Amino acid sequence: MCGMSQPISSVKATGLKIYNQQIYNRKKEFDLTCLRHELALVAGHDRRVRLPLGIDSLDRALAGGLALGRVHLLSGAMQTHGAVSGFTIALLCMLQDYLSVKKPNNNIQSINYPNQNTSPIIWCPASQRGGAGMLYGHGLVAAGLDPARLLIVDTPSPSRRLAALDDILRTEGLTAVVIEYDGLQKSVDYWMRLTRRAQLAAEQSGTTAFLLGAPIAASGFETAWQIKPAPNFAMQPNPALVLNSVWDLTLHRARGGRPHICRVSWHADSASLQAIDQTDISSDKPVKADLDIHVPAIHTLAI
C-alpha cells in the first residue's frame, strides 16, 4: 500500500521514463546491428553478390541489386503469366551477361562459379493444364535468351517440381533455376520450410533460383515481386517495330532493402532495363509485333 501514497503524476512520470529507456535501448541495438552490417561489408564478409538492374531507384530498393545465389519469388495473375515469364527471361539475360564478365572473387568460390559457355539454365515450366502456355522459341530469342541454353524439365506435377528444387539447386555449375508452381495449394508452414531449404541450397551452390506463379502468403524469400504487363506508348506510331516489353513492377519485399513500385521496359538488343516515366501515360492501346527469327532447339527432359 506504500505505492498509494505516491502522487499519480510521479507514477506516470516513472512509467514514461522506463518506456523511453526501452525505446532508447532498442534504438541502440538497431544501430549496433546496422554498424555490424556495415563493418561486414567493409571487411568483405557479406556473401551476397548483387546484380545491378540498371535502374537507380530499383537498385537502391534492392540494397544494391538483385542478390545472386538466393531464391526470388516472382508472382502475377495467371491471365498475365506471360509478363512474369518475360521479366524472368530479362533477369536471366542480365545474369548471363553479368557472369560472363564478372570474375570470381572471395565472395564466390571458384569451384561453384558457372562456366558461361556451357552452364545451362534449368526451367521447370507449368503444366499445360495450368493455362499459362508453353515456352516459345521465337519469343525467347526475341527477348534475348538463347533457347539452346535451357534445359526444360517437364513434369505435370507442381509438387514434384518443388520437391526437386532442393536437389537441383545443390547441383553445381548452373546459371539459374526457374520453377513454376501453378495451381499448388499449400500451407504457409510448407512454403516457409521449402524456402528455408532452398535458400540454404542456393547459398551453398551459388545458383540463383526464381519461383514463378500466383501470389502466395509466404515469407523467407530474398525478394518477392508482383509483375503486370503494361502498354508501350513510346513506339505506338509504328506497332510493327514494338520489340520492347513493358512491365509494372511491385517489389513487395527485399531482404536488406525496401518496397518499391516502378514501370520498366526491356531492351533485348542491349540486354538492359529502362525506367518509364508514368506521368506521360494517356492511353491503353494493344500492340502487336510480327517476328521472323531463326530459333535453335530447346532441350526437354520429361520426368
> DSSP for 127-171?
PGGGSS----HHHHHHHT--GGGEEEEE-S-HHHHHHHHHHHHTS
pLDDT at 7 over 60: no
Q: In the structure, how many helices (H) and strands (E) does the chain have?
A: 6, 12
Residue with the larger pLDDT of the pair 151 and 118: 151
CB of 47 closer than 8 Å to CB of 198:
no
CB within 8 Å of 245: residues ≥ 6 apart: 83, 86, 87, 90, 143, 229, 232, 265, 266
Position 65 scores a pLDDT of: 95
Position 21 scores a pLDDT of: 77
CB under 8 A, 24+ apart: contacts of 102-107: 106/44, 107/44, 107/46, 107/47, 107/48, 107/49
Position 280 scores a pLDDT of: 44
Position 286 scores a pLDDT of: 42
What would the pLDDT profile of 223-274 be if each residue is shown by its tens digit? Answer: 999 999 988 766 555 554 446 789 999 999 999 899 999 999 999 888 999 9
Position 138 scores a pLDDT of: 85
What would the pLDDT profile of 160-185 be if each residue is shown by its tens digit? Answer: 888 888 889 988 889 999 999 876 77
What mean pLDDT comes out for the span 116-136?
Answer: 73
Rg, C-alpha atoms of the chain: 23
How many other CB atoms are found less than 10 A from the CB of residue 199?
19
What mean pLDDT comes out for the span 182-204?
Answer: 85
Task: Return d(Cα 171, Cα 154) in angstroms, integer.
Answer: 18
Strands 176-180 and 71-75: unpaired
At 288, is the pLDDT very low, low, confident or very high (cuts 50, 70, 90)? very low
Angle formed by the axes of helices 188-205 and 158-169, nearest 10°: 30
Residue with the larger pLDDT of the pair 216 and 66: 66
pLDDT at 102 over 60: yes
Task: Return d(Cα 130, Cα 142) in angstroms, integer.
Answer: 24
Position 273 scores a pLDDT of: 94
Position 111 scores a pLDDT of: 40
pLDDT at 214 over 70: yes
Grid coordinates representing 299?
532441350
Residue with the larger pLDDT of the pair 288 and 253: 253
pLDDT at 301 over 80: no
Grid coordinates representing 42?
567493409
How many other CB atoms are found less than 10 A from the CB of residue 51?
20
The CB-side HSE value for 258 (13 A sphere, CA atoms) comes to 4
pLDDT at 48 over 50: yes
> DSSP for 190-231?
HHHHHHHHHHHHHHHHT-EEEEEES-------SEEEEEEE--
